[in-house]
Amino acid sequence: MKATTYLLVTTLKNKLKLLLKRPLMLILVILFTIFMVAMLLLSLIMPLDEVEFRNPTEMYLIIFAFLSFIFFLTAFNGLKTGATFFTMPDVNLLFTAPIKPKTILHYGLIKQIGTSLFVGIFLVFQYTWLRASYGLNILSFFIFLLSYSINLFLSQLTGMAIYTHTSSHDKRRTIIKIILYLFFLLIISYALYLFVLYYPDINTIIGNINSNFFFFIPVAGWLTALCVGVIEGNLLFILIGLLSSLILCITLILLISNLNTDYYEDVVKTTEYVHSILSARKEGKLVEAIPRNVKLGDVGIHKGKGASVLYFKLMKESKRKKIFIFDGVQMFLLFATIIFAFIVKKEGLFPIYIFSLYLSMLTITLGRWVKELNHHYIYLIPESSFRKLIFILLENFKQIVIFTTIQYLILFLITQEQIISILFYAISFISFNFIFTAITVLTDRIFGQISNKFLNGFLYLILVVIVALPGIIGGVIISAFFNNEVLFILGISSLWNIFISLIILFACRNILSVAEIKN
């Protein structure tokens, strides 16, 4: 245990020393910390005496849905590719050392607990609206952060246990995959049944979903019970959440450490895979997950000439990933927005618009076109750089327009807003997505091969605010002279967004002329 303790402490010291040797990263960490603390303090001093809070059961439902999604996604990913708590230096130093396997496993678990707690810090930025909407106090919020970290840790532990148990048995893997899908579909089906039964009484629907039965659903339900218990002062719910999670954690650890299969062989395999991806990203290489089973449909592009081939290539690749007319990310955004719309429809379209815009901003970089910018063959096409860039972005712009049209048609049916309002909100949503796309291109042009996701994300957010703010301010100033302020703000900001997006893209027109220009 002394060796693993020394390794943990030394690793932490080295990370701090490395941070001190990187002034830019250190400044960003300090700014991020100041910003986070400032947001917490502003949220705490926010006057809430005359604020009418929303039904707290809505918040419980949001917590349950969020934790369920994270757990299912992480556990299912672990089933497919495995999960590991170790890095290659851990493998080289620990797996060859005369240390008990269980001690090494405990070391990995302690490291992963720390990582899970660190990831949970980013939820601090959600405290402002949770406090303003539901009056959530600081203690309850930190319990929510703890619940998220526990949920993430247990989901990774579950993924590791499942993969270890099924890595050499395809039949077992299929059975567990079916069980996971059926379990998830059962929850969704029950929620839809309640919706059909009690609509339009949203409070009754939410109340039934938040019944005690849901608190006994593994992990997500238990941890939701923990949050509810702290918020409402219910000791029984607190005990259910803590004890159930602890029992599952101990069971999974015993299952992993006592399996007859060669656990460490699976861990080394997964660790090497993760290490190769991280190393390739640091070197600026394009890395993509290759599926084990490839389904061949219509092979070949068969359309386009010159740079236009890029557009048809992206169309073909996106078609293979689609569920109906949208891919997985778009389906998630659509369903999340629809659920949120049913919950807050009495407050109008604006909060729904902000919610969907926020999700879109976080997921815009997941598009296929972002990876396309880094393919080497782009530079070999004898066309102008700007023309190639336009055709790469064209497929993304088309998807934005189609997605927005369908989303706001559904929101029109839900909210019964006026057609003119729906039209302005839809145009504004499209224009902001244009800005997100342009800023993504700009960050790739300026910062190129920066592999640090934290640094990239922080700079991306700063640029979005700087670029979009003039349009919003201009809209506010002009709208002061007219009656319908919101529509004027949306209209003016949309014009600005489209104009500045075109300017940014034109300024980045040479991004695909020379491969080294982004280095």
Q: Are residues 137 and 258 in the same domain?
A: yes
183 — pLDDT class (breaks 50, 70, 90): confident
In this model, does residue 207 exceed pLDDT 80? no
Most confident of 113-127, 134-148, 153-167, 355-369: 134-148
| Residue 210 and residue 355 in one domain | no
Kindly state whether residue 254 falls inside one of the protein's structural domains: yes
Question: How many whole angstroms separate alpha carbon 267 and alpha carbon 94?
Answer: 13
Burial 210-236 (b: 16+ CB within 10 A, else e): beeebbebebbbbbbbbbbbbbeeeee
Pairwise CA distance, residues 454 & 32, whole Å: 10
| Whole-structure pTM value | 0.72
Domain check: are 469 and 344 in the same one? yes
Last residue of a domain, one of 265, 282, 299: 282
Residue ending a domain, choose from 263, 282, 301: 282
pLDDT value, residue 275: 60
Total number of domains constituting the chain: 2
Average pLDDT, the chain: 77
Residue 330 lies in a domain: yes
Q: What is the pLDDT of residue 431?
A: 92
Higher pLDDT: 3 or 506? It is 506
448 and 364 assigned to the same domain: yes
288 belongs to a structural domain: no
Look at residue 470 and tell me if it is in a domain. yes
Average pLDDT, integer, range 181-200 = 76
* 116 located within any domain: yes
CA distance 304 to 322: 22
pLDDT at 44 over 80: no
Are residues 345 and 428 located together in one domain of the fold? yes
> Is there a domain that residue 159 lies in?
yes
Helical ranges in 167-262 per DSSP H: 170-198, 202-209, 220-232, 235-258
Q: Do 204 and 340 share a domain, yes or no?
A: no
Sign of CA dihedral 384, 387, 391, 397: positive
pLDDT of residue 82: 55
266 and 376 together in one domain: no
- pLDDT band for position 332 (50/70/90)? confident
Look at residue 81 in the predicted model and tell me its pLDDT: 57
272-301 pLDDT tens trace? 666 665 565 555 555 554 554 555 556 666
Q: Is the pLDDT of residue 499 over 90?
A: yes
Structural domain contains residue 63: yes
Q: What is the pLDDT of residues 214-223, one digit of tens each?
A: 778 888 888 9
Same domain, 276 and 320: no
The whole domain housing 426 covers 313-518
- 32 part of a folded domain: no
DSSP code per residue over 284-331: T----PPPSSPPP-S-S-----TTHHHHHHHHHHHHHH-BTTB-HHHH
In terms of average pLDDT, the best of 32-36, 190-194, 232-236 is: 232-236
**Residue that the structure tokens 């579950």 belong to:** 158
399 and 472 belong to one structural domain: yes
More confidently predicted of 41 and 259: 41
- What DSSP letter does each residue of 22-36 carry, written as one string? -HHHHHHHHHHHHHH
* Gap between the Cα atoms of 434 and 221, Å rounded: 38
pLDDT of amino acid 391? 84
The answer to whether residues 449 and 364 belong to one domain is yes
- Determine which of 25-34, 318-327, 407-416 has the lowest per-residue pLDDT on average: 318-327
Does 102 or 36 have the greater pLDDT score?
Answer: 36
Based on the fold, state whether residues 253 and 115 are members of the same structural domain.
yes
Query: Could you write out the three-class secondary structure of 368-437?
Result: HHHHHCCCHHHHHCCCCHHHHHHHHHHHHHHHHHHHHHHHHHHHHHHHCCCHHHHHHHHHHHHHHHHHHH
- Domain-terminating residue out of 261, 282, 303: 282
Q: How confident is the model at residue 495 (pLDDT cuts 50, 70, 90)?
A: very high
Read off the pLDDT of each residue in 159-181 and give the average, rounded to a whole number: 75
| Domain shared by 275 and 348, yes or no | no
